[in-house]
Amino acid sequence: MKDATTHRDKRRTGADIHADYDRTLMAWLENFDAHWDEIADRYNERTQRMFRYYLSICAGAFRARHLQLWQVVFSMGREGRYDAPR
Protein backbone atom coordinates (compact mmCIF):
# COMPACT_ATOMS: atom_id res chain seq x y z
CA MET A 1 0.00 0.00 0.00
CA LYS A 2 2.91 2.32 0.69
CA ASP A 3 3.99 2.16 -2.96
CA ALA A 4 0.48 3.00 -4.12
CA THR A 5 0.25 6.04 -1.84
CA THR A 6 3.58 7.55 -2.85
CA HIS A 7 2.88 7.88 -6.57
CA ARG A 8 2.60 11.59 -7.39
CA ASP A 9 -0.69 11.33 -9.32
CA LYS A 10 -2.66 9.44 -6.69
CA ARG A 11 -4.68 10.94 -3.86
CA ARG A 12 -5.82 8.93 -0.88
CA THR A 13 -8.81 9.30 1.42
CA GLY A 14 -9.37 7.05 4.43
CA ALA A 15 -12.02 6.52 7.06
CA ASP A 16 -12.07 4.35 10.17
CA ILE A 17 -15.37 2.46 9.95
CA HIS A 18 -14.97 0.12 12.93
CA ALA A 19 -18.07 1.44 14.73
CA ASP A 20 -20.21 0.64 11.69
CA TYR A 21 -18.74 -2.85 11.45
CA ASP A 22 -19.78 -3.67 15.03
CA ARG A 23 -23.38 -2.96 14.03
CA THR A 24 -22.94 -4.90 10.79
CA LEU A 25 -21.72 -8.01 12.60
CA MET A 26 -24.57 -7.81 15.11
CA ALA A 27 -27.07 -7.54 12.23
CA TRP A 28 -25.47 -10.61 10.60
CA LEU A 29 -25.80 -12.49 13.89
CA GLU A 30 -29.45 -11.49 14.21
CA ASN A 31 -30.13 -12.63 10.63
CA PHE A 32 -28.21 -15.86 11.18
CA ASP A 33 -30.29 -16.67 14.25
CA ALA A 34 -33.55 -15.68 12.55
CA HIS A 35 -32.88 -17.95 9.56
CA TRP A 36 -31.04 -20.84 11.19
CA ASP A 37 -34.02 -23.15 10.72
CA GLU A 38 -33.73 -22.72 6.94
CA ILE A 39 -30.18 -24.16 6.86
CA ALA A 40 -30.08 -26.32 10.01
CA ASP A 41 -30.45 -29.54 8.03
CA ARG A 42 -27.14 -28.82 6.23
CA TYR A 43 -25.07 -27.94 9.32
CA ASN A 44 -24.64 -29.31 12.80
CA GLU A 45 -25.00 -27.58 16.17
CA ARG A 46 -21.22 -27.21 16.49
CA THR A 47 -21.10 -25.17 13.28
CA GLN A 48 -23.94 -22.99 14.57
CA ARG A 49 -22.11 -22.34 17.85
CA MET A 50 -18.80 -21.59 16.09
CA PHE A 51 -20.41 -19.13 13.67
CA ARG A 52 -22.32 -17.40 16.49
CA TYR A 53 -19.10 -17.21 18.51
CA TYR A 54 -17.14 -15.79 15.55
CA LEU A 55 -19.68 -13.05 14.84
CA SER A 56 -20.04 -12.17 18.53
CA ILE A 57 -16.33 -12.09 19.33
CA CYS A 58 -15.56 -9.99 16.26
CA ALA A 59 -18.32 -7.51 17.11
CA GLY A 60 -17.00 -7.28 20.68
CA ALA A 61 -13.44 -6.71 19.47
CA PHE A 62 -14.56 -3.87 17.20
CA ARG A 63 -16.66 -2.39 20.02
CA ALA A 64 -13.67 -2.54 22.41
CA ARG A 65 -11.44 -1.02 19.69
CA HIS A 66 -9.17 -4.06 19.62
CA LEU A 67 -9.81 -4.33 15.86
CA GLN A 68 -9.95 -1.60 13.25
CA LEU A 69 -11.39 -1.47 9.78
CA TRP A 70 -10.35 1.19 7.33
CA GLN A 71 -11.82 2.07 3.99
CA VAL A 72 -9.22 3.61 1.70
CA VAL A 73 -10.12 5.23 -1.60
CA PHE A 74 -7.52 6.08 -4.24
CA SER A 75 -8.21 8.57 -7.01
CA MET A 76 -6.21 9.90 -9.90
CA GLY A 77 -5.91 13.69 -9.75
CA ARG A 78 -9.37 14.34 -8.30
CA GLU A 79 -8.43 15.59 -4.87
CA GLY A 80 -11.26 15.72 -2.36
CA ARG A 81 -13.67 13.88 -4.64
CA TYR A 82 -14.90 10.32 -4.79
CA ASP A 83 -17.60 9.13 -7.17
CA ALA A 84 -19.11 5.91 -5.81
CA PRO A 85 -19.85 3.33 -8.53
CA ARG A 86 -23.47 2.57 -7.65
| Catalytic annotation, residues | 58
List strand residue ranges (DSSP E) for the chain, in order: 10-16, 70-76
23: enclosing H helix or E strand: helix 18-39
DSSP 1: -
- The DSSP element (H or E) to which 50 belongs, if any, is helix 45-63
